[in-house]
Amino acid sequence: MKCPNCGMELAEGKLYCEQCGEDIHIVPDFEPEVELTMEESLGQVLENAFVKTEEKVPSKKKRKKRKKRRHSRLNIAVTILILFSIGFIIFAFYFMEHSESFQIGRGHHFYEEGNLTRAAYNYKKAIELNPENIQTKLSLAYCFRDMGEYPAFEELLNEIIFSPNVTENDQNLAYKQLISHFLSQNDYEKIDKILTSCNNEYVVKNYSDYLVWEPELSHSGGYYNEIIPLKISCKTKGTIYYTLDGSNPTTSSQVYAGENIFLRDGQEYTVKAMVVSSYGVISDCVTAKYEIEVQKPSAPLVYPLSGEYMVSEPIIVDVEDYEVVYYTTDGSVPTTSSQRYRNSLMMNKGYTLYRFIKVDENGVASDYTEREYIVMMMEASPMEAN
């Protein structure tokens, strides 16, 4: 290679002329094939660039497709959201329907608002979820009471009272509500039935005025060889009525006032008694049969014997200290209501029929002794000790 400035032959690999100092610029030889290849490559680059530019500006048809795809994706999202909302609502509804506390809370809410029908519905749902909840049953009972559904009210309170898991306080409250309900209706017979079968001492004690027990007899029925001084008593307040002939007592029967009823010898008695409270409640009737057979005391010995006497003489009756003598002068049979004999008795003037009995310490009367006296005249100063 020669220096283009001085023409001096340059050494191989030198980039300047040693003679004149001219820098040497090496330009590669240009070949037409290379030029053609470069032109083709440049055209391809321009074509690709043009195509990519066209793709960046989509056609109207492509825009519609893309818009349709976007709408489709939006519809899917909305559908998913709706399904999720429906599922959530179903879950929430299921939870509320199966939540005891929710049902009780709704029941309280509607009860306070006065919507008793809806309150009762919610309380019933709560009881279905937990049948052992006594408090919820009490709340439902109040709904029945306020709605005037008294049979359902009474049935539910009885269910509470006899529930095996009821507490004493809840049982007392149920009794109180039930008895107060019957008091408002003046239905004292139902109150009596409740209390008669009640094992709760607190309830019986607090409502004892409404309780009527059947009366009690001091002696049980049976055979006796002595006179029975029968008494009738009752644990509760009221009037006792009784009969001795087996007929059912009524408020027109004999009233028992606390005295002894003597069941005497030689008779059979069927005693029936009942109690009527101040509220008109009638107790059950108590019945007992008695057979009395006792040994009578001997008939009294009376002196003098029957006969005619010129003057009035004293009549003497032989009697023990524990015996009492009664007599009549009109021919009737003496009783304990007749004239009582005391120590001695003077004959009456004229004709007189005397009859005497004696009664022992058990109240048993003897057969009578009869004396007939005819007195012609009286003594000057007759004396009669009665």
CATH of the domain at 282: 2.60.40.10
CA distance 109 to 107: 5
- Evaluate whether residue 74 is within a structural domain: no
pLDDT band at 367 (very low <50, low <70, confident <90, very high): very high
**309 and 368 share one domain:** yes
pLDDT digits 0-9 by tens, 51-65: 444 445 566 666 777
- Evaluate whether residue 369 is within a structural domain: yes
Q: Which amino acid is at 186?
A: N
pLDDT digits 0-9 by tens, 234-278: 988 899 999 999 999 999 999 999 999 999 877 899 999 999 998
What the block records as the tokens of 130 is 């937990």
pLDDT digits 0-9 by tens, 22-62: 665 554 444 445 445 555 555 565 555 544 444 455 666 66
Of 292, 315, 345, the domain-final residue: 292
**270 and 220 share one domain:** yes
pLDDT digits 0-9 by tens, 144-155: 999 999 999 999
**Alpha-carbon dihedral angle through residues 181, 183, 189, 194, given to the nearest 10 degrees:** 50
CA distance 219 to 210: 27
Q: Are the C-beta atoms of residues 207 and 178 closer than 8 Å to each other?
A: no
- Evaluate whether residue 14 is within a structural domain: yes
Range of 283's domain? 216-292
**206 and 220 share one domain:** no
Of 210, 225, 260, the domain-final residue: 210
**Alpha-carbon dihedral angle through residues 343, 346, 352, 355, given to the nearest 10 degrees:** 10
CA distance 106 to 115: 11
Provide the total of helices (H) and of strands (E) in the chain, helices listed first.
9, 17
* Cut 0.85: pTM above it: no
Instruction: Give the mean pLDDT of 193-210.
Output: 89
- Evaluate whether residue 331 is within a structural domain: yes
**286 and 306 share one domain:** no
Give the DSSP letter string of 254-293: EEP-S--EEE-TTEEEEEEEEEE-TT-PBPPPEEEEEEE-
Q: How many domains is the chain built from?
A: 4
CA distance 173 to 169: 6
- Evaluate whether residue 34 is within a structural domain: yes
Of 292, 317, 347, the domain-final residue: 292
